[in-house]
Structure 1
Amino acid sequence: MTDNQKSPRYAVIFHSRRTPDEAGYTEMATRMEQQARQQPGFLELTSFRAPDGTGVTISYWDSLEAIRAWKQHPEHITAQQLGKDKWYAHYTVEIAKIESVYHFPSPADPGR
């Protein structure tokens, strides 16, 4: 089991629907992912977006304190405001504590 799979850990689940405004979005999203990955307590991130603009991004963190620090990061605050002003028709943020993790097949399986 890697450090990213240890429990407990926390997931920030960001559900969103985009507006048609594309200007600057990709660049900001890339920058925010780069910045998040450098933050203490960051574990991993995955993101999906459907053709209709609906998306889900899940970031994993080792503590609630790390999540709060990321929320208050100066560049992230700017991105949050631009998201509200330009890029998102709506969004929901959920924070969940992950108590356990299991896999099939096992991460140690050489065929994986």
Structure 2
Amino acid sequence: MNTKFTPYYAVIFTSIQTETIEGYTEMAQQMEDLAKKQAGFIGIESARNTVGITVSYWKSLEAIQQWKQHADHVIAQQKGIKDWYTYYNVRICKVEREYDFSKK
């Protein structure tokens, strides 16, 4: 993932799932594959234990809004509210600077 340019935006999606997760993994993969095709998409990172955290990275607020309104994504959002989540939170942040470390 090339996020070495700034500024860009991070959408942080934090969630707690219900006990009913049938179809969730497949839908999550479909949404990731679809997001990667959207204008302005930069990358995605995700982890799930008790709490799930997915961070997607975007070039602009407009790109984020277009993704939020994408017809297939809207269906996934509705399914999530109806069946898969007991709680979720979305935070949209502007990334002004970043740095990293990698042991070789």
Fold-level match, TM-score > 0.5? yes
Unaligned runs of 5+ in 1: 106-110
Cα deviation for residue 100 of structure 1 reads 0.8
**Shift >6 Å, 4+ stretches:** none
**Structure 1 residue 29 and structure 2 residue 28: aligned?**
yes
2:77 corresponds to which residue? 80
Secondary structure in 2 matching 1:5? coil
Cα deviation for residue 101 of structure 1 reads 1.3
- The amino acid that maps onto 2:27 is M
Cα deviation for residue 4 of structure 1 reads 2.4
Separation in 1, partners of 2:89, 2:96: 22
For 1:1-112, what aligned pairs fall within 5 Å after superposition? Answer: 3-50=2-49, 52=50, 54-105=51-102, 112=104
The alignment-based identity, stated in percent, is 48
Unaligned runs of 5+ in 2: none
Output one character per residue of 1:24-44: Cα deviation in whole Å (capped at 9) or x when no partner.
111100100000000000000
Cα deviation for residue 3 of structure 1 reads 4.3
Separation in 1, partners of 2:15, 2:100: 28
Separation in 2, partners of 1:85, 1:92: 15
Q: Give the TM-score taking structure 2 as reference length.
A: 0.94
Cα deviation for residue 102 of structure 1 reads 1.7
Report how many residues are paired: 104
Cα deviation for residue 22 of structure 1 reads 1.7
